[in-house]
Structure 1
Amino acid sequence: MSNDISTSSSYLDSITWQDTQVATADEESDALTQEDFFSLLTQQLSYQDPSNPADNDQMIAQMTNFTMAQGITDLNTNFESLASSMTSNSALQASTLVGKQALLESNSLDLNETGDAKGSAVAEAAVDNLKIKVTDASGQLVKTIDMGSQPAGAVRFTWDGTNEDGERLPEGEYTVSAEGSTDGEFSSLPIATFKNIESVNINGSSGIIINTKEGAVRLTDVAEIA
């Protein structure tokens, strides 16, 4: 009768010597850590001349300089983390702008099927006989809105989408202009109208960029969001 001894026993494997795995750092940093600094400082003290010991002021200055350098490094790290957090927060806030309307400098007026078209005329000084004129794609004047006398600043106007006969005009893009009298002289006024925000971008140097059918503008150039 013979007995076979299996060398593949899990128990035997558990009691045999295992190969030692030495953990190695994936990347060695060349940065001088606080531990390295104090090691160098200890070596410096151990090799100093007993008859001419190191000056306490110099030692304190070295420690202060290292502490300041370490503090600046930590501060830069915190600023990078803060900048990343602010960028993420800006992207989240910018996403809520999609679908809203931005008041931009433009003389085109978008008329929806049922809603009104709104905008602002910008008067640098008090103006009299202010009139808002709306023309269609063919250049025909379809509506004149009499705003009367207005103080300096942005003068909001609303067009209900009807012509002079009160008939509702088809939706689409119309052209709007404003003119009024200042000190007895008639002149044109700048116009700003509301545009639908189709998308937004986050640009590191320019901040938040909003995109409309007329192009892209910086959020800082938008007078109003509605």
Structure 2
Amino acid sequence: MASSVDSTASSTYMDSLRWQDSKVPTSDKKSDALTQEDFFALLTQQLSFQDPSKPADNDQMIAQMTSFTMAEGISNLNAKFDSLSASMTSNSALQASTLVGKKALMESDTIDLGLDGTGKGSIVVEKPVEQLTMSIYDESGQLVRQIEYGAKSAGAIRFEWDGKDKDGNQVAAGEYKIKAEGNMAGQFTSLPVATFKNIDSVNINGSSGIIVNTSIGAVKLTDIAEISG
């Protein structure tokens, strides 16, 4: 039976992905914010009702004028910051678009063997290991290749798989499972692995910044260790 799709929900979702046009509300009503003209009108009214025998203190008058000037300056500054924020968002969108088609180094338990017959990545060794081993499996779970790297000190160990199996035959391009282990004091411990994934698209999220979409999911740009062409 063919599955039905809620066209209303789909339309709403697609609308949420589009750039939202900035709308400027129009109104014939005057703003409630006080202007310089309002301030001087109030000041004039205050002077007209003051007691001639007890005129307003000059320092108080200057303080009132200074407070109003500062308040107006802060209001203008906020407006400029809003404009700057909008401009920075537009620039981020343009810069993020250049990432599409590149490769992102990110933590993953799979490695992509490209058409060039190679797969690259990095193994994170938190403590020195006596023996570092990387195992590669096909989609059925069968061991394709096991590579020994010997003793390694702590750090990020870069590697490149030549796409060959344990018998030296070139395997087909595609996605393979990968597992790294380090021998520490006679015990093998699993180690984090990061591989390069294709960047399919990017999103601009106000709270999370730039979101990069890959074949294994979405991740913040700040969580990506490296971008490669």
- For normalisation by structure 1, the TM-score amounts to 0.85
Q: Provide the C-alpha distance between the structure 1 equivalents of 2:142 and 2:213, rounded to a whole number of angstroms.
A: 30
Where does 1:39-188 land on structure 2 (aligned, <5 Å)?
39-188=41-190
Structure 1 segments of 4+ aligned residues over 6 angstroms from their partners: none
Q: Distance in 1 between matches of 2:188 and 2:81?
A: 54
The 3-state SS of whatever aligns with 1:208 is strand
Compute the displacement of 1:153 (Å).
1.6
Shift of 1:215: 1.1
Q: 1:100 Cα shift? A: 0.6
One-letter amino acid of the structure 1 residue matched with residue 129 of structure 2? V
Q: What is the CA–CA distance in structure 1 between the aligned matches of 2:103 and 2:117, rounded to whole Å?
A: 13
How far 1:203 sits from its partner (Å)? 0.4
Structure 2: unaligned runs, 5 residues or longer: 1-26
Q: Which runs of 5+ in 1 are unaligned?
A: 1-24
State the number of aligned residues.
Answer: 202
In structure 2, what residue type is equivalent to 1:76?
A: N
Cα deviation for residue 42 of structure 1 reads 2.2
My pick for the range that moved more, 100-109 or 39-48, is: 39-48
Distance 2:30 2:168 in 1: 79
- Secondary structure of 2:69's aligned partner: helix
Q: Normalised by the size of structure 2, how large is the TM-score?
A: 0.84
Larger radius of gyration: 1
Q: Give the whole-Å Cα distance in 2 for the aligned partners of 1:35 and 1:29.
A: 13
Give the whole-Å Cα distance in 2 for the aligned partners of 1:182 and 1:88.
49
Name the SS for the 1:75 alignment partner.
Answer: helix
2-structure distance, mates of 1:150, 1:162:
23
What percent identity do the matched residue pairs reach? 65
**1:203 aligns with one of 196, 202, 205:** 205
CA distance in 2 between partners of 1:34 and 1:144 (Å): 77
Contact 2:117 2:173 in 1 (8 A): no
- Provide the C-alpha distance between the structure 2 equivalents of 1:42 and 1:206, rounded to a whole number of angstroms: 50
- Report the equivalent of 2:21: none
Cα deviation 1:30-61 (Å, max 9, x = unaligned): 21111221222123223322111011121112
1:193 aligns with 2:195: yes
CA distance in 1, matches of 2:117, 2:143: 20
- What amino acid maps onto 1:168 in structure 2? Q
Cα drift, residue 150 of structure 1:
1.6
